[in-house]
Amino acid sequence: MGNWSTVTEFTLIAFPALLEIRISLFVVLVLTYTLTATGNIIIISLIWIDHRLRTPMYFFLSNLSSLDILYTTVITPKLLACLLGEKKPISFAGCMTQAYFYFFLGTVEFILLAVMSFDRYVAICDPLRYMVIMNSRACLLLVLGCWVGAFLSVLVPTIAVTRLPYCRKEINHFFCDIAPLLQVACINTHLIEKINFLLSALVTLSSLAFTTGSYVCIISTILHIPSTQGRQKAFSTCASHITVVSIAYGSNIFVYVRPNQNSSLDYDKVAAILITVVTPLLNPFIYSLRNEKVKEVLRETVKRIMTLILRKT
């Protein structure tokens, strides 16, 4: 252990491309981040100010929007800083904090997506008992379970990573992900890789199986709807939800549910942008802003605001 250096700071090295390319990516990602934050804040505001949206589904959607804002904020500022310069320092404590919250919030989102699919299953497959099953106490406990379950599942692996000795400072990524951190460790990390793989597989695949099972039951019920228009409307909603779920699960399975996470880091960077930037942008537009009730509330709110502005002028 005497030859191992004590690392107090890491250096993120992610985009050794031409300055013009980095600036273009910077502009695109700033716009994306702004749209993500704006879209999700609008959703949260509408749900909390309008009584018509105070239902279990919108309660879960407001949590998803809050989660997306936090999730993308953990990564995007440092990603933007990396684009402005080829190398960006980050303290050891900052790196480990970022890694923890990235996996913690990502795990919360997977469990929450499974809970939301269950909510839709009850609403479509057992509508007469929907408000009895999905009462306010049950909804609160389900959301609390998402956060507590994620906190506990991510805590031990993160502590294990913080205890590793590190020989190099340079991390081949734009944030402190597990795979590039393990690459710069001084010891054999095979056991930690296996533990991370098993935990990632458990969380991701179990929530995916639950979500898939819920949507299979939902689609089966939809097929028995006598009205063609009703079937089309229900299928349209399901298709948009399945699109987001597919991107979220697909990109995460590609990066984290594989035994050797040290390979293909360049591909992982692309997948990480899908996970941390694209999915949080899509969620408010697909889950909420395509919803007729949300659009109606949004129109009425904008109309009221414009009326107030005109009166003052």
CATH code of 272's domain: 1.20.1070.10
Number of compact structural domains in the chain: 1
Specify the amino acid at residue 237. Answer: T
Q: Is residue 261 part of a domain?
A: no
Mean pLDDT of 28-45: 90
pLDDT reported for residue 90: 84
Q: Is residue 4 part of a domain?
A: no
Per-residue buried b or exposed e for 113-136, using 16+ beta carbons within 10 Å of the residue's own CB? bbbbbbbbbbbbeeeeebeeebee
pLDDT reported for residue 311: 79
pLDDT reported for residue 59: 92
The pTM for the full model equals 0.85
Is pLDDT of 265 > 70? no
pLDDT reported for residue 144: 95
Q: How confident is the model at residue 2 (pLDDT cuts 50, 70, 90)?
A: very low
Q: Which domain holds residue 172?
A: 9-256+266-311
Q: Is residue 1 part of a domain?
A: no
Q: Is residue 297 part of a domain?
A: yes
Q: Is residue 2 part of a domain?
A: no
Q: Is residue 87 part of a domain?
A: yes
More confident residue, 142 or 227: 142
pLDDT reported for residue 259: 59
Sheet holding 9-13, edge to edge: 87-91, 9-13, 170-171
| DSSP H or E run through 56 | helix 56-84
